[in-house]
Amino acid sequence: MTQLADFPITRRWPPRRENVIQLYSLGTPNGVKVSIMLEELGVDYDVHRISIGDPEDQLTPEYLSLNPNNKIPAMIDPDGPGGEPMGLWESGAILTYLGDKYDRFLPQSGAARWHTLQWLFWQMGGVGPMFGQVGFFHRYKGKEIEDPRPRQRYYNEARRLLGVLDRQLQGRDWITGDYSIADIATGPWVRTISRFYEAEAQVGLADFTAVNAWLDRFEARPAVERGWQQPRNPE
Ligand SMILES: N[C@@H](CCC(=O)N[C@@H](CS)C(=O)NCC(=O)O)C(=O)O
């Protein structure tokens, strides 16, 4: 039977508690999706801070042994399928796994399940990559690039996606009606536009009134505030 100690990553980042979920993360929009989900579920977890800058923890052999894609977040559930420990990466896969395991924030069957997954995939394939490029060209290294076309393309695409979200939120408190992993995946990215990237004017965030009301509801959830703080300090 596999044990937590069989995962090489546990040698560099030892579990503090052997029987709880081990989360490898950083306070970025993809990272906090998982800590927010765990806080919403009220599930115990150990969080290990994985630097993606200097030092580049995510390029160490121990980290790559869990996530060959060298990105955060990743996790190990010591009580995975069949009671065996299981490693998992890609935030959308992790949210889906946790939603199914605890039967919360993801309907188990019917149209509501597929619509929740549809909006989760929309976030994973659209909002995350496009908003991330807004960050790169507006706030980070791409800022120095003089050609305005890539920057403008991502502003336009982010604005388009916010319009899609705004229309979906007309008459709904949450993306698919009930609070779900679609909201948990999308909220941190919309919050990041203003909190990290300071690009709200460029993407016209103020124009999307339903999105802003939804973001207020999301930020008011105590679990969102707690999850947003993880990992709290270098550990
Ligand atoms: N699709 C992946 C994306 C993960 C991702 O891009 N994570 C970023 C932080 S938000 C990262 O690890 N960046 C480090 C790098 O690109 O080297 C997921 O959702 O888990």
Predicted confidence at residue 161, as pLDDT, reads 98
> What is the percentage of the chain residues whose pLDDT exceeds 70?
99
Q: What is the pLDDT of residue 233?
A: 55
Kindly state whether residues 85 and 136 are assigned to the same domain.
no
Residue nearest ligand 1's atom 20 by CA: 90
Ligand 1 centroid–CA 59 distance in Å is 12
Three-state secondary structure string covering the chain: CCCHHHCCHHHHCCCCCCCCEEEEECCCHHHHHHHHHHHHHCCCEEEEECCCCCCCHHHCHHHHHHCCCCCCCEEEECCCHHHCCEEEECHHHHHHHHHHHHCCCCCCCHHHHHHHHHHHHHHHHHHHHHHHHHHHHHCCHHHHCCCHHHHHHHHHHHHHHHHHHHHHCCCCCECEEECCHHHHHHHHHHHHHHHCCCCHHHHCHHHCHHHHHHHHHHHCCHHHHHHHCCCCCCC
Q: What is the pLDDT of residues 73-123, one digit of tens each?
A: 999 999 999 999 999 999 999 999 999 999 999 999 999 999 999 999 999
Give the separation between CA 88 and CA 74, rounded to whole angstroms.
6
Cα three-residue angle 98-57-223, rounded to 5 degrees: 35
Give the pLDDT mean for 166-193: 98
pLDDT exceeds 80 at position 1: no
| 228 belongs to a structural domain | no
Domain range holding 14?
Answer: 4-104
CB atoms within 10 A of CB 20: 18
Fill in the amino acid letter for 53. Answer: G
Please tell me the distance between residue 170's alpha carbon and the centre of ligand 1 in angstroms: 30
The protein residue with its alpha carbon nearest to ligand 1, atom 15, reads 71
Residue 55 is predicted with a pLDDT of 86
Q: What is the mean pLDDT of the chain?
A: 96
What percent of the chain lies above the pLDDT cut of 90? 96
Residue type, 22: Q
Handedness of CA 32, 37, 42, 44 (dihedral sign): negative
234: pLDDT strictly greater than 50: no
Average of per-residue pLDDT across 141-168: 97
Rounded distance from Cα 115 to ligand 1 centre (Å): 24
Considering the domain architecture, whether residues 89 and 42 belong to the same structural domain is answered as yes
Which atom of ligand 1 is the closest one to the Cα of 52? 14
For the chain, what is the domain count? Answer: 2
For the stretch 20-60, pLDDT in tens is: 999 999 999 999 999 999 999 999 999 999 999 888 999 99
Residue 232 pLDDT: 77
Claim to verify: residue 117 and residue 158 sit in the same structural domain: yes
Same domain? For 95 and 114 the reply is no
* Residues framing ligand 1 (Cβ under 6 A): 28-31, 52, 58, 71-73, 90-92, 128
Name the domain boundary from 40, 72, 104: 104
Domain of 169: which CATH number? 1.20.1050.10
